[in-house]
Amino acid sequence: MRYNRIKGEQLRFLINLSTWSITDLEQSISKIAGVSGRDGITNPRFPQGSKLETILTRIVSIVISDCNLKSNGVITYHEPDIRRIRIVEKYLQAIGDIQLKPTYDKRTNCYVTYLSAVIGKALIQLGLTPGNKTIHNPGLFPLIFTFTWDTLCALIEELVPQDGSVRPTLIDWGHSHTLYIDTKDTGISFKPLISQEEVDFVIEHGKPYEHYKRLPMGKLEQLTKDKNRNTSRVATKLLNHIYQNPNNLIEYEAQIATILGVKVVKKPVSVFYQKRTGAVTVAWVIRTANKIEALRLGMIAPPNDVRKRRVIRKSILDNPDTVDKILAEYAERGINVRRWWNDE
C-alpha cells in the first residue's frame, strides 16, 4: 500500500485555511512519525478540549516523575510495578495504537520501557525541559495553570504513584535537584549553587552509606547553633543556599495543590553527597498539612496505584463525618467531587 507523507507544519497550514479540525482527519492519518518514518504512533487519535488536557497532563506527570526525557525526544520509563505500566499504556492509547514493551532490569529492580520520541518532542515544544531533571531543576509549563479542575487533579493522581507515599494521615511526594557537581570531571555545564566549603561540610557531617552520605535537615539546623563558630557559620550558609534555591517542580505542584483547596507543606528533608560523582543534591517533599488535608487530597485526586489507592479508600470509609464535611465545602464552591470510593 502506498502512503502519502505530509509535514506537520503543512497540515497545520491546511487546517487553518479550511473549516476542518484535526479530529475530522482522524481516519485519514495512519501514522505520526519523524522524518525516517520509524517509531511514531500508528492510527493516531486526536482528542480535544478537556479530554485532551487531562490526557496531556497525565502524560506530563508520568514523564516528570518516572521518566528520562532526552533532547531527541526519546523517553525512557522506569517502573517497579508492571500493573502501573499497563495503566499508563491505557492512557497512551487515547492518542493512538500504542503498546509498551517493558523488560525487567535486575540491576535496578525495575521494568524499563520506552515512549515514542514523537511524544517526547511534542512535550519539549510544549515547554518541558529535556535532560537530567536533577541537574536542570525544571518546572512545569505555565500553561498548565489555565487547565480545568479535573485536569489539575489528574496531575496529582499521577505524581503520587512513583514519587510519593500514602498513609491514612499523610500523603507526600518529592523531587531532588543538584546543588553542586564537579564540572571539570563530568564535562557537564552547571553553575554550582554551593561552595566547595559546603560540599566538604556535607562530607564531614553526613551519615555514610554505601554510595552516598546523607545529612538530614534536622541535623543541619542543629549544626547552625553549634558551639564551634566555623561549624555554625558553614551550616547557616548551606541552609540559606538550600532555601534560596528551591525545587522548581515542588514550587509548581504546591501551587496546584493550593488551587485545588489542599493545604500542603513544602520543605527540604535531606542533603546527599554522591560518592561516585561527587555531586551534592537536596531532596524536597510536599506533605499534606494534617490528616484532614490527606483525606481531602485523596478524595479529589486518588493516586493511580492499586495499593496506595486502597489505603486512601479505607481511610475515607473510616471517616464518614469528615468526608461529608469536605464534600460540603467543595459543594459550596460549586465543585462536585466524584465519590470514586463507592465505585470500587
pLDDT digits (tens, 9 = 90+) for 131-164: 888 888 888 877 788 888 988 998 888 888 666 8
Q: Helices (H) and strands (E) in the chain — how many of each?
A: 14, 12
Are both 227 and 268 inside the same structural domain? yes
- CATH number of the structural domain spanning residue 63: 3.10.28.10
pLDDT of residue 178: 95
Are both 102 and 153 inside the same structural domain? no
Lowest mean pLDDT among 36-45, 139-148, 303-312: 36-45
Nearest Cα to Cα of residue 285 among 210, 220, 217 = 217
Residue 246, domain member (yes or no):
yes
Are both 28 and 157 inside the same structural domain? no
Nearest Cα to Cα of residue 60 among 150, 154, 173 = 154
Are both 124 and 154 inside the same structural domain? no
- Measured CA to CA, the distance from residue 173 to residue 166 in angstroms comes to 9
Indicate whether 295 pLDDT > 50: yes
- Tell me the pLDDT tens digit for each residue of 93-111: 998 899 999 999 988 889 9
Are both 46 and 85 inside the same structural domain? yes
HEC string for 172-193: EEEEEEEEECCHHHHCCCCCCC
Residue 220, domain member (yes or no):
yes
From residue 321, alpha-carbon distances to 315, 317, 337, 340 in Å are 12, 10, 16, 17
Residue 85, domain member (yes or no):
yes
Indicate whether 294 pLDDT > 50: yes
Quote the number of domains for the chain.
2
Residue 3, domain member (yes or no):
no
Are both 30 and 126 inside the same structural domain? yes
From residue 143, alpha-carbon distances to 94, 124, 128 in Å are 21, 13, 11
Indicate whether 187 pLDDT > 70: no
Note down the domain range covering 23: 8-131
Are both 326 and 220 inside the same structural domain? yes
Residue 138, domain member (yes or no):
no
- The DSSP bridge partners found for residue 222 are none
| Final residue in a domain of this structure, among 103, 131, 159 | 131
| Of residues 13 and 54, more confidently modeled | 54
Are both 66 and 173 inside the same structural domain? no
Instruction: State the DSSP code for 130.
Output: P
- Measured CA to CA, the distance from residue 51 to residue 55 in angstroms comes to 6
Are both 64 and 168 inside the same structural domain? no
pLDDT of residue 338: 93
